Amino acid sequence: MTPASTWSTAQAMNPTAPRLQWEQLPTAVRAAVQERAGEVRRAETISAGLNTAFTARLHTDTGLVFAKGTHSARAAAQRREAFINPHAYPIAPRLLWEIDIAGWHVLGFEHLEGRPADLSPHSTDLPAVAALLAHLTELPPPPTGCRRIEDRWADAAEQIASDPALLAGDHLLHTDLNPNNIIITEHGARLVDWTWPTLGAPWIDTACTALWLIAEGHPPVTAETWAASNPTWTTATPQALDTFTAVNAALWTEIAANDPRPWKLRMRDAATTWAQYRARS
């Protein structure tokens, strides 16, 4: 059964701890930011997102900047995002500066005027999201620095006796296509939060997005029909799609078991629903 769409999965994604305010950052960190961005006249804390201790829209002498930061000891994901940014631009907003000082790692990006994508049925954002995914498949991958999808998902594939090599490829992938990471602007959709850059088959990010469509209320058949508008979808064999859905059902089942927040339970149900649909097809 398709998960009920009485509430948005993406809107339920909130950090487990309150975000720090600009004024709560160490003095040395705030000084380093202002050396690069100009004096901060006002800071608006952003609550969306999950993995950073500080996220804010900074109003500076040089304009708006989106800033995110976390403790340096836990900044591996942010460092990956900084590394991949030259390869992901212009789909990703441009990284303006990177700071590592006083135990804090902070990134400053060009500010995007926009809003998170709506992936629910009948959303008018879906064509822009499809165009984004088509553009994404054209990005040249970096020669080093990215894990491969068959390695990242090897444990889950082993649990279900599937071959992760069916997902292999040399295309740059984002893999976290939740609607909060897809920003709809007047110039089209952009993709933020590149903390898991990965190499794999070109259709995988479209499949990751299709999974979110199911979580937001689309039946699997509708999600697959939408995904088929991406030219790379034809390169996915039925066996590869079966592996993708089974692996994601295993991944989200484990994630929800370890942290049963409502949105993770919804993702588990969506992934399971899609895997079961493919098993019956």
- List of residues 6+ apart from 89 with CB closer than 8 A: 95
In the structure, what pLDDT confidence band is assigned to residue 18 with cuts at 50, 70 and 90? confident
pLDDT at 6: 61
Which of 14-28, 69-83, 108-122 is predicted with the least confidence, judged by mean pLDDT? 14-28
pLDDT at 50: 65
Helix (H) or strand (E) holding 69: strand 63-71
At 170-200, the pLDDT tens digits run 999 999 999 999 999 999 999 999 999 999 9
In the structure, what pLDDT confidence band is assigned to residue 21 with cuts at 50, 70 and 90? very high
pLDDT at 52 over 90: no
CATH superfamily of 115-280: Aminoglycoside phosphotransferase (APH), C-terminal lobe (3.90.1200.10)
pLDDT at 8: 78
Q: Average pLDDT of 122-144?
A: 96
pLDDT at 185: 97
Q: Which of 84, 50, 52, 89 is nearest to 68 (CA)?
A: 52
In the structure, what pLDDT confidence band is assigned to residue 2 with cuts at 50, 70 and 90? very low
Do residues 213 and 149 lie in contact, with contact meaning Cβ atoms separated by under 8 Å? no
In the structure, what pLDDT confidence band is assigned to residue 4 with cuts at 50, 70 and 90? very low
Do residues 28 and 8 lie in contact, with contact meaning Cβ atoms separated by under 8 Å? no
In the structure, what pLDDT confidence band is assigned to residue 9 with cuts at 50, 70 and 90? confident
Fold of 10-110: Phosphorylase Kinase; domain 1 (3.30.200)
- CA distances from residue 17 to 11, 20, 53, 159, 219 in whole angstroms, order as listed: 16, 9, 8, 32, 33
pLDDT at 1: 38
pLDDT at 281: 80
Mean pLDDT score of the chain:
94
pLDDT at 43 over 60: yes
Ordered by start, the domain boundaries in the chain are: 10-110, 115-280
User: Burial letters for 185-196: b for 16+ Cβ neighbours within 10 Å, e otherwise?
Assistant: eeeebbbbbbbb
